[in-house]
Amino acid sequence: MTYRTQFDSELDNLKLNLIRMSDLVIRNITDALHSFINMNSELAERIIKEDKLVNDFEYSIEKECMRIILREQPVAKDLRLITSVLKMITDLERIGDHAVDLSRLTVFMEKSEGNFNLPQIKLMIDVCEEMIRLALDSFVNKDINMAKEVIDKDDLVDDYFEEIKQLVVKAIKENNISADYSIYLMMAAKYLERIGDHAVNLAEWVIFSITGEHQ
């Protein structure tokens, strides 16, 4: 006979809410990245407005975690799950913030003069998107290997960031890019690099919830 059915259903509900929050953040970040690539300021404006929903999710999940800790006094795998969820929602919220940052950049860049296409930005965007999705999938499937894949992919994001930095510096020296545009590009690359770091954090908390070990 299995006991604590109410507790189990509360934990299931918590996981479901984390997945819902992740879905929203993934949608916002994907739209933000695409609005950035296509310079679609209308889409960018919507993302800025939707950030409140991400913040509301973080608040309500945090409250629910506190309530479960208080009422159920979880230990072992349950405590690890709740601790991980509490940490993951912070990273998800930060990724959501970066979606807003990128959207704001889109609005600025659309208005600014200049055009300087870097294929590395698109490649960086693709890796970041994949990292977030993989991190979420590793949580849903309790898959350590998938989580480790996320951590490994961060090197790629860091490499692209370095490459973009070098290319922007070169373009500045050669006078091929405006001052405004070069700053916006570097800011976008930095946001993407940070999104990669948050995806790594998500994966590390997934591993902690499964193994009890945090890197």
Q: What residue ranges bind other proteins (CB under 8 A)?
A: 1-4, 7, 73-80, 211-213
Of 74 and 96, CB closest to other proteins? 74
In angstroms, the CA 78 to CA 136 distance is 18
Minimum gap (Å) between residue 74 Cβ and other proteins? 7
Instruction: Give the H/E segment covering residue 163.
Output: helix 144-173
Minimum gap (Å) between residue 20 Cβ and other proteins? 25
Of 1 and 175, CB closest to other proteins? 1
Of 65 and 157, CB closest to other proteins? 65
SS3 215: coil
Cα 11 to Cα 69, 79, 84, 132: the distances in Å are 11, 10, 12, 22
Instruction: Find tokens 């916002």 and name the residue.
Output: 28
In angstroms, the CA 72 to CA 82 distance is 11
Of 2 and 145, CB closest to other proteins? 2
Q: Is 22 exposed, middle or buried (0-12, 13-18, 19+ CB in 10 A)?
A: buried
Of 13 and 211, CB closest to other proteins? 211
Contact 10, 74 (CB under 8 A): no
Minimum gap (Å) between residue 208 Cβ and other proteins? 10
Minimum gap (Å) between residue 3 Cβ and other proteins? 6
Minimum gap (Å) between residue 67 Cβ and other proteins? 17
